[in-house]
Amino acid sequence: MNYILKNVDVVDKNKTVKNTNLYIKNALIEKISDEVDENLQSYDCTGLTVMPSFVDLHAHFRDPGYTHKETIQTGSKAAVKGGYTLINLMANTKPIANDMQVVNYVLDKAKKIGLINIHQCVSVTNDFDGESLEHLDKIDTKKVKFISDDGKGIISNLTSYKSMLIAKEKNLTIMTHAEDKYLTPIDYRLSEDIITIRDLYLCHATGARLHLSHVSTIDSLEAIRLAKQHGTNVTCEVTPHHIALYDNEFKVNPPIRTQKDVYAVIEAIKDGTIDAISTDHAPHTAEEKKNGAPGLVGLETAFGVCYSNLVKPNHITLNKLSELISYNPYKIFDGMYEKRGLIKQGYVADLALVDINKTYTVDPNNFDSMGKNTPFKDKQLQGIVVATIKDGEFKYDNR
């Protein structure tokens, strides 16, 4: 499928080109040019901005085992509606993603649906038991890049240490859910900070590759900043809700923090301490949410939340936002998905068309996700995805 996106603003981490034309040929980006080839099909994109499509390093699609909350089909539809073409799924399914049987089930299903690329994490410990690591010997590292016990956290220092040695040997990245469940009822902030600091120390000692999920506190961010200055092989992410909200009772894990924490998150984004923004998309039924299940759905609101709270107030540029939600996440995948994350000749045409001037009110009833659990209900946002292109094909189009 060969065509031109006409009269479009082109933005990636490195450049902004106003009112130009983007040529797509055989699923690749051919060129940016002011000239128009009248022999090619064209789409008028006046007033729109094209960016590299987004990557979510941290999401839950609940399949297998919890398909009353979300399926790979509905999660994929929510993803493309939000501008995402690559999603990294956590291992807390049923059965837990301990082995390649579950991984292959998810990957095969995603391939048949054909909307997005999916990566499935494998658990660090077998069945999240906090100790057993033998199953990691059977991982196909051509298909699996990340291991994580997200939702639980690893309490044992020894298990964490051993898992990092295995991860280094197999060239895997450990994604840490920083929480000491024994401290959580006493001090949720201390619970996150102490595991963050421990895992940074173990990462430095072992030389493993560590990615810290949904960082939310001032002290954890400062520890990451110092670790990076000392050469520790660590990356980290924050969520849109920890950027936009404070002193809010909506239940998520980690919880919504204070205004000072939000300021610290924004400063850490600006100075490069934070590498990525990930949604932690976590669908629940209305009844489960009413009964206290932590989590929110975030794929369909992420761009609007980030644009409204980061770009519009001039904390960062749209180029920097592209770096956080596309270029850096692809880089964290460490070569698994090549030639993506920039709008550049020869790169894969995985793209998001956005209207950065449009304001809208969030209505969960319009979500394609089965989950409607969002703290942004009835909030006004600016910036919306109007189309998503994967491998040169429109997978979502609401222009």
Catalytic residues, which ones?
280
DSSP for 201-241 reads HHHHHHT-EEEE-S---HHHHHHHHHHHHTT--EEEEE-HH
- The count of C-alpha atoms lying within 13 angstroms of the C-alpha of 82, restricted to the half-sphere facing its C-beta, is 36
> Would you give the end-to-end CA distance of the chain in angstroms?
19
Hey, what are 1's tokens? 């499928």
- Where b means 16+ CB within 10 Å and e means fewer, 330-364 reads bbbbeeebeebbbbbeebbbbbbbbbbeeeeebeb
Report the SS3 class of residue 345: coil
Which residues lie below 8 Å from residue 342, measured CB to CB, with a gap of 6+? 12, 13, 14, 52, 327
Hey, what are 297's tokens? 């759905």
Report the SS3 class of residue 381: strand
Report the SS3 class of residue 370: coil
Phi, psi torsion values for 85, nearest 5 degrees = -125, 0
Task: Tell me which residue has tokens 């009772």.
Answer: 249
Which residues lie below 8 Å from residue 48, measured CB to CB, with a gap of 6+? 8, 9, 353, 354, 355, 386, 399
